[in-house]
Amino acid sequence: MRIVFDFLKFFFASCSVILLVMFVVNVASPEPTHDYNSARCTRYCHDHGCSSSHLNSIFVPIYKSMGFLYRWNIKVLKEQRFLGYKQINVIIYVVIWPFLMFIMTFIVIKQRKIIREIKKRRKLDV
């Protein structure tokens, strides 16, 4: 049970740091606009797709290989009828996704503990 408590402390401390960084980035970022800007990505890129000229050369291969997932994600978020785009975006990426990552991390920690116990038993049996 102690490992769960320690993990929860680490998880909430990490979330606090991440939220602080997100806040600082949002405050320091320029005002969002839907106008096209050839120098950087804007909401225009979000609405119409981004040209690779905005991307660093490091991210071009990633965007080319994963661009379909990005476009599909935006399309699904815009077409859902239950909540607004912003609300469903927050629910998915601020609530559901971190919760799933937390659960999977907890499962991995539990499995690691089980594996260690099995290895200890094998050493005792030899």
In a domain, 23, yes or no: no
Answer whether residue 101 is part of any domain: yes
The greatest distance separating any two alpha carbons of the chain, rounded to the nearest whole angstrom, comes to 70
Q: Three-state DSSP class for 1?
A: coil
What is the Cα–Cα distance from 55 to 41, expressed in whole angstroms?
8
pTM of the model: 0.50
pLDDT, position 108:
92
List phi, psi (to 5°) of 77.
-65, -35
The pLDDT of 45-65, averaged and rounded, is 66
Count of structural domains, the chain: 1
pLDDT digits (tens, 9 = 90+) for 10-29: 878 887 888 888 888 777 87
Inside any domain, residue 99:
yes
Residue 106 has pLDDT above 90, yes or no: no
Q: Are 113 and 3 in contact (CB under 8 A)?
A: yes
34: its two tokens: 């839907």
